A and B are shown apart, each in its own frame.
Chain A
Amino acid sequence: MSNKPEKFIDENGLRLDGRRVDEMRPMTMEIGVLSRADGSCYLEWGKNKVLAGVFGPRELHPRRMQRANVALIRYRYNMAAFSVEDRARPGPNRRSTEISKVSSEAFTPVIMTELYPSAVIDVLAEVLQADAGTRTAAINAATIALAEAGIPMKSLIAACAIGKVDGQLVVDLNKDEDNYGEADLPIAFTQDGDITLLQMDGNLTQDELKEAIGMAQKACEQIFELQREVLLNRFGKPDEIEQLAEETEPEPEVEFDEETTDEEVASELQEDEEEAPSEEDIPEEENDDDVDEELGGEKDEQ
């Protein structure tokens, strides 16, 4: 059965797929691919294909799972039956349950769960095609999906696996390296360099572990750069973004305006049947004043 290659790294220092030891597989991401999800991302990383969707914050059922002060992050890592060469038995299993748990914990420190007490944020990561490193790929996609869903996060998360083959540490294992290598070490980082996930399969010495963490951090820097690019270029290239900066106004004052506007509109509903009372004039006057002030202010600036 063993398809174990004789050598993982050739005499030129290149790996089976032609990469250098510190080189990641090419990664592409697409944001907003699911119309019914609040946030979504499709990610390809070498031969890995992962789809992540975020739903919520929304009401959590069953209620006994609710946390009174914080939102629950319910992460579901799932491998499609067709994602591997031999059909995977559908449904959760020991491995996917474990990955779901640790991935959820990878996001818990950065998501502001205290803003949504007793709610749930559902993160669904679906592996469509697997080629080693799917949990890290899923985490990278989930970060983008969470950002798109407008979930408040202190940092993005990036994850990458470090492995050991032929006694040498390598970045981002592929399938053969994962199956027949000596160690597999997936790590997730925040932008500050804090580790939010670390697992290890196989054996590494203390020094190797330290070196591996350094290598993973370097790789994650590259992933952050890619994630940043995807998010910032979502509405066009940076030069067009200047235009986009015109958007959105809600400062406290403006919000106040809106409120009064709403009240006016609400009272308009009844105006046909009832006479407008005198209180109604007050917000209107205030509104006008604000307009004048704003105009005056803007003109001064010019």
Chain B
Amino acid sequence: MSTITFTLNNSQVTVDAPPMTRLLDLLREHLHLTGTKEGCGEGECGSCSVLLNGELVNSCLVPTLQVQGATVTTIEGLGEHTHLHPIQQCFLEEGGAQCGICTPGMILATHHLLEKHPAPTLDEIREGLSGNLCRCTGYMRIFEAVQQTAKLAEAGK
């Protein structure tokens, strides 16, 4: 067992877990944050995406020991019922979520993409989200949601 302390959605947490525990399982099973989903367990689908020190990662491929002292943001840290994050609002309005299982990861990937490219081209969006598989939408509504978020951010400046 290892004792790991890190910042999760702006709060400091300390947990005891075997050091090779996947961050995904730590979040879901130890900390009961089930917004992070498991789709494949092999780093292919992106459903388990979280932000680790601000960078997008697949939480199924991060051993818990490696988040010691780090900052982790999950979907639960992005918005809340009374106040959706603009990305969440745009996904809702543009039809970016269908079955919803890829949605938390997709929204975090969008967050990461817009940090790097505030006004992304379509090709940048296509590449930036290519690690997050969606079987429902064919991605087109998701592209719309990303572009709409960027547009709103630009207008809000």
Q: Decide if A and B are genuine partners.
A: no
Question: Which A residues fall within an 8 A CB radius of B?
Answer: none
The chain B residues found within 8 Å of chain A, CB to CB, are none
